[in-house]
Structure 1
Amino acid sequence: MKTRAITGFVFIIVMLVSLFSGAYVFTGFYILLSLLCLNEFFGLSKNTGVAVNRLAGFLIGAFVFGFYAYGRFQDVDAKYALLLIPLIALVFIWELYRKSDNPFSNIAYTFLGIIYTVLPFVCYYAIAFIDGSYNYHLALGFFLLLWTSDTGAYLFGVKLGRNKLFERHSPKKSWEGFIGGISTSAFTAYIVSLYFTEYSLINWLTMSLIISCLGTLADLVESMFKRSINVKDSGSLLPGHGGVLDRFDGLLISAPIVFVYLYLITY
């Protein structure tokens, strides 16, 4: 428990520093974080007998995130996005030279990893630039809503949990915890709306509902993946917590939907 607490505290400090240190540090940190999550997904894939193309996957993931990030700082001609095409083709061509009985799965899991890990982080990154320039308020607000939802779900679940939410994939999750997480996140949304006034209370409450509901489902999806291969943690990078993917699983489905919501109400 002590190791878990120390790791959690240090990681929160690192997260906050990345948010408060400006756009460039924020960019570098989340490109790195997305690739670490991709690496852990590829590691999980290996347990299924699939041999993903790690190098090509990292190149495509880094290009997608890097190209979008560069566009936030400099005007970039959209035609350069076409460079992604040869990188994608590389995955298929490379498979010709690999001795594998599962070329379909190797190619499919390589792209699935990018879709499942890197693209959600791009969406989260885009939230911080939703009004055209870097603003840490929305990025910080997102994580405050996600963290308090997770914490509330855990505390309410431990104290009041009786009815299982989705026992097949996560026996410890309960409906009481789920409702507690929504309530805790909604209260946080109210507090956040008092300080980060770019968006109204209704908008923050809507975001909290999206994050609580879809964050829980995203957690269940990762649990489904891990249970299917009898793995407890996605990695061991964070002592006491497992892998990076374990800590950010709630973001993977909720961030893209929050980004779409903010985009629709902003433009």
Structure 2
Amino acid sequence: MPHFLVAESETADEREARRRHAGKSSGETYAATLRQLQPDAEITIVAPADDDAQVYETDALGVFDAVFITGSPLHVYDDNPEVRRQLTFMRSVFASGTPSFGSCAGLQLAVAAAGGTVRKMPQQMEAGIARRITPTDAGRDHPLLAGRAASWDAPAIHGDEVETLPADATLLASNAVTTIQAAEIRHDGGVFWGVQYHPELALGEIAVALRRQAEDIVEAGLAETTDDVEHRAAQLAALHDDPDRRSLLWALGVDREFAHEARRRTELSNFLDHLADIDASDRADAASPDLCSA
């Protein structure tokens, strides 16, 4: 039975706010998705941002088969105790050698922990649908994106983005809005696969997120009025209920790669399918002698 650790990127207040609007915190959503993909998994949820959070040393993290880092409103470039605690946690994940996966703020946290940089987006936001994500040459052959089309759309909502990847990272996918949409990071003996979009989310949850951030979306120039945002949210919620409804696919400009839950979860499924390979590769790298220092 695999044992997964899900790390909330949200603070306690943010978790409660998301539960009120969406019914679950980001970590609870991740856990629910993982249980659907791997019903026999044992899942532990932690909140590294909290001042009373359990501190996981590298040995303790090593007992897990994988670590998942959620999205959140976290700004990893803010120098505050919550961010510092999460960066410390992520560095411990890398050092433990446990394979890890993250989306949105989860990708940004891994980037910052490994020495890369994150910034507020010059274009302000990507909200609802990340359009025409395209693999790089490296991404076409990477198992994270196995089965993906030549380009695809994915659920997304973020105002921050990765500016520069750390050393020993590989850019796997981009689009016209955000250059770093998917990446692999190898750091301090650990391997992280991550995406800027949200393969773990249902379309109904994206609809909730749009409604919560309607004023920000208008301010970013993505919609003229909050009523326009509500209309888009209603379409996404309806597609959640009926993913084969052709009129909604046409109105939203998406295909079944976006509408069907199994296809949206491609990256998560690929990560789970390749866990043994990632772990074996990582342990082999850690065991290899450093011939340059001999």
Same fold per superposition (TM over 0.5): no
Greater RCO (CA < 8 Å, at least 6 residues apart): 1
Indicate the structure with greater strand content: 2
TM-score relative to the length of structure 2? 0.26
Indicate the structure with greater helix content: 1
TM-score relative to the length of structure 1? 0.28
